[in-house]
Each structure stands twice: as C-alpha cells, then as structure tokens.
Amino acid sequence: MSEWAAKRFWTAAEAVEAGDGYGVRLDGRPVRTPAKAELVVPTLPLARKIAAEWDAQEGEIRPATMPMTRAANAAIDRVAREQEAVAAMLAEYGGSDVLCYRADSPAGLVARQAEAWDPLLDWAESAFSVRLRTTTGVMHVAQDREALDRLHAEVRLLDIWALTAFHDLVCLSGSLVIGLAALRDQAPVEALWRVSRIDESWQQEQWGSDEEAESVARKKENDFLNAKRFHDLSRPL
C-alpha cells in the first residue's frame, strides 16, 4: 500500500473480466498490488466492491478505507506465496484457543464463558470430531495431537482468499474455533465477535470504559467484520 500514488489520478474505476477472474481498471489501466502483480480476484462481486473503494477516494488515497483492496493485495502478494506456512501458523491456534481458557471466578464470568463458549466447542466436536480440552487460569493445557491434526487438515483446505480472511478472523478473536464458525456461518459474525470479547466486556462492566481501549476495540471489530465480508464476497455464486 505504501507504493500507491498519494493523490487520485483516475476518473472512473470499474470491475472487468481478467484472465480466470475479475480485475479493476482505473481509466482502463489495471490496478496492481504493491508487489506489482495484477489484482485479479475470483468473483465479480468482490471486484465490484474493490472498484467501489477506489471510486470513493477523493484527493489523497486512504488505504485504511479500502479493506477489500488490502485483503486482496495480501492474498496475492503474501498468502499465495506462503499458503502452507500461513495455514500451519493459524492451525496452531487450536493449541491455545481462547475458548479453552476459563476463569475460576467470579461466578458470573465463569457462567457467562460457559454459556457462550461451550456450544462452540460442542459444534467443533460435531463438525470436525475434535473435542478441545478446557482449563481454568492461564496454565497451558495440552491438546490431543490427533485433534490438532484434524483441525490443521481443515485449514489446509482453504483457498488463498478464504485463508486471508481466516487469518484476521482467527488472530483478532484468538480462536481457531471462532474463525471456523465464522466461515461456516455457524452464528452471525457480530455475535461471534461478541463471544470472543467476553473477558474484555466483563472487565468493562466492572471497572468502566476507557476511551482509548474502546477505540482499539472498535477497529478490531471492524477488521473482523470486514474479514468475513471479504470471505463471503470471494465465494463463487
């Protein structure tokens, strides 16, 4: 993104067929990634959304307002080149999934975690034949290697577009299970984000809000929701 021109230099952005997918043209010139590859995505809806992001720029280009473009760049320039390494890194979250680390007090937080997190672990067991172990406190709980291998196999099935979205869904939530649930529409993505923030929400209720922390949380939530949108737009109709 740092290699983009600082100012808008085009009149119109449009989505067009390009090779085996769809690209974006700025006054007929193809949009390219920071690594100079032509930006080609698998679906027309995603290309149209990217074109709309470019069309919305006025004056100085603001990459922060172009989440679909940034995700497509990441998929093409980074994930496509290191797909297996990215999949392996994300799969390792199964060994430290936030859903597995529970509070031992107070009772209200313990109950809230169990109510929200147990159904997701139940779903993972049903969907992938994997039952992750839980513990209280922060001491590491070892997961069954066979279970982690099954989860790794699921992650390796993702194409570069889904894997790019999955990266943010997992890293922002701290949960491999939540990331998989988001991809499979197990629950509304907004609800899954709230589930991932139970500890933070509890602390806020007890001690009050902090403006800086709230700003960071809002950005993370927006990034999480955008990751899901990117995934959905990249799926063939």
| Span 109-160, pLDDT tens digits | 999 999 999 999 999 999 999 999 999 988 899 999 999 999 999 999 999 9
Q: Strands 40-41 and 29-30: what pairing?
A: unpaired
Number of Cβ within 10 Å of residue 52's Cβ equals 14
- Do residue 140 and residue 230 come from a single domain? yes
Q: Which domain holds residue 66?
A: 13-79
Residue 1 lies in a domain: no
Residue 121 lies in a domain: yes
Q: Strands 135-136 and 13-18: what pairing?
A: unpaired
Q: For the segment 60-103, what is each residue's pLDDT rounded down to a tens digit?
A: 889 999 999 999 999 999 999 999 999 999 999 999 999 999 99
User: Looking at residue 125, which CATH number applies to its domain?
Assistant: 1.10.3580.10
Total structural domains within the chain: 2
The per-residue pLDDT for 213 is: 84
Closest Cα to residue 151, out of 192, 190, 114, 181?
Answer: 181
- Do residue 105 and residue 220 come from a single domain? yes
79, 114, 129: which is the final residue of a domain?
79
Residue 46 lies in a domain: yes
Residue 181: band (very low, low, confident or very high) from pLDDT cuts 50, 70, 90: very high
28, 48, 79: which is the final residue of a domain?
79
Q: For the segment 193-229, what is each residue's pLDDT rounded down to a tens digit?
A: 999 999 999 998 888 878 888 899 999 999 999 999 9
- Do residue 211 and residue 137 come from a single domain? yes
The structure's pTM equals: 0.93
- Do residue 213 and residue 192 come from a single domain? yes
Residue 7 lies in a domain: no
Predicted confidence (pLDDT) at residue 2 exceeds the cutoff of 90: no
